[in-house]
Amino acid sequence: MTAQIIDGKAFAATVRAKVATHVARLKEENNLTPGLAVVLVGEDPASQVYVRSKGKQTIEAGMKSVEHRLDPDTTEDALLTLIKQLNDDATIHGILVQLPLPAHLDEDLVINAIDPAKDVDGFHISNVGLLGTGQKSMVPCTPLGCLMMLRDHHGSLSGLDAVVIGRSNIVGKPMAQLLLGDSCTVTIAHSRTKDLPDVVRRADIVVAAVGRPQMVPGDWIKPGATVIDVGINRIDAEGGKTRLVGDVDYESCAAVAGAITPVPGGVGPMTIACLLANTVTACCRANGLAEPKDLTV
């Protein structure tokens, strides 16, 4: 079997077009412009690329984009002061602090200082708790993008066996919550999991969020399964160049899977589209307006 390619890049473009429609409507009817602030501490080159493309796509959707690039040695107090300013700024509806932060900054403390209503990443403890109990929250962008592609491909996910490889707070755990919410039977695997190949072989849905280039080979995949590759890894390529690969070995997995997301062009673009969608949702909630129903389902 050769897997169907799930085109995250094209899907994300349709989400961004809907976002742009809602942004235009908010401007026209309510004189509102959704605003997103991105905070980057330090000079990690990969992070700078993400921040640039988030900023560009935010503006293309008609929204306000604000970027704060801070020195790598920024103090916790200075960062918390900036977050308070953004919390108090009525023109800013979404705040994203790029992770990971430099080691001298307490990530939990910083994330939990963001107003949960503006926490478009969905990482604040209050949003994590709401998601875990099935209540309305801000849903983390990467898992949300994965869920949208899965629902689009499968229709119902009810009763399917899903394995999430990785248990980070930003991808693995919220991904598992969303799959459980859609009535999958969910297994969360991690670095201590026994017999990972056997665990993965049982899955109808495999979500790989490990951070290890091409770690999952095709012979771990049940024939016909759906493979969602969250990994973004830059590896050396021929001619002294580099290229992006995921956490699964694309060629061998695509030969057995029923469907697979590519890297690049899969989960990454959906993450940014969901970030814009969450910002529109936050803007509507902040102004007591009905929130769009067609953005993230």
Ligand X SMILES: NC(=O)C1=CN([C@@H]2O[C@H](COP(=O)(O)OP(=O)(O)OC[C@H]3O[C@@H](n4cnc5c(N)ncnc54)[C@H](OP(=O)(O)O)[C@@H]3O)[C@@H](O)[C@H]2O)C=CC1
Ligand Y SMILES: Nc1nc(=O)c2c([nH]1)NC[C@@H]1CN(c3ccc(C(=O)N[C@@H](CCC(=O)O)C(=O)O)cc3)C=[N+]21
Q: Which pair of structure tokens corresponds to residue 56?
A: 């560009």
Identity of the residue, 142 or 279, whose beta carbon is nearer to ligand Y in the bound complex: 142
Per-residue CA distances from 49 to 40, 43, 52, 102 (Å): 11, 10, 5, 17
Per-residue CA distances from 296 to 1, 71, 248, 270 (Å): 30, 35, 26, 10
Distance (Å, rounded) from C-alpha 16 to C-alpha 126?
Answer: 27
Question: Among residues 115, 121, 204, 229, which one is catalytic?
Answer: 121
Mark whether 98 is an active-site residue. yes
Identity of the residue, 265 or 292, whose beta carbon is nearer to ligand Y in the bound complex: 265
- Segment 47 to 76, residues that bind ligand Y, using CB under 6 A: 49-50
- Which single residue is written with the structure tokens 């992006």? 244
Least gap, CB of 227 to ligand X (angstroms) = 14
Of 25-33, 97-105, 190-198, 286-294, the segment contacting ligand Y by CB under 6 A is 97-105
Is the backbone peptide bond immediately before 100 cis, with ω within 30 degrees of 0? Answer: yes
Identity of the residue, 258 or 268, whose beta carbon is nearer to ligand X in the bound complex: 268
Q: Is 267 in the site for ligand X (CB under 6 A)?
A: yes
Strand segments, DSSP code E, in the chain are 4-5, 35-41, 64-70, 94-97, 161-165, 185-189, 205-208, 226-229, 233-236, 242-245, 259-260
Identity of the residue, 91 or 191, whose beta carbon is nearer to ligand X in the bound complex: 191
User: Is 167 annotated as belonging to a binding site?
Assistant: yes
Work out what residue 245 binds among ligand Y, ligand X, none; the CB cut-off runs from 5 to 8 Å by kind.
Answer: none
User: Is 258 annotated as belonging to a binding site?
Assistant: no
User: Is 16 annotated as belonging to a binding site?
Assistant: no
- DSSP assignment of 262-283 equals -SSSSHHHHHHHHHHHHHHHHH
Of 29-37, 55-63, 211-219, 258-266, the segment contacting ligand Y by CB under 6 A is 258-266
Q: Is 272 in the site for ligand Y (CB under 6 A)?
A: yes
- Segment 204 to 243, residues that bind ligand Y, using CB under 6 A: 232
Closest by CA position to 26, among listed 65, 67, 64, 66: 64
Rg from Cα positions in the chain: 19
Beta bridge mates, 41: 70
Q: Is 41 in the site for ligand X (CB under 6 A)?
A: no
User: Is 151 annotated as belonging to a binding site?
Assistant: no
Exactly one of 140, 143, 172, 265 binds ligand X (CB under 6 A); that residue is 172
Q: Which residues make Cβ contacts (< 8 Å) with residue 75, sequence separation at least 6?
A: none
Exactly one of 157, 188, 263, 295 binds ligand Y (CB under 6 A); that residue is 263
Of 13-21, 34-42, 112-120, 264-272, the segment contacting ligand X by CB under 6 A is 264-272
As annotated, the active-site residues are: 54, 98, 121
Which residues of this chain interact with ligand Y, rule CB under 6 A? 49-50, 96-99, 121, 141-142, 232, 244, 263-265, 268-269, 271-272
Give the annotated binding-site residues. 166-168, 232
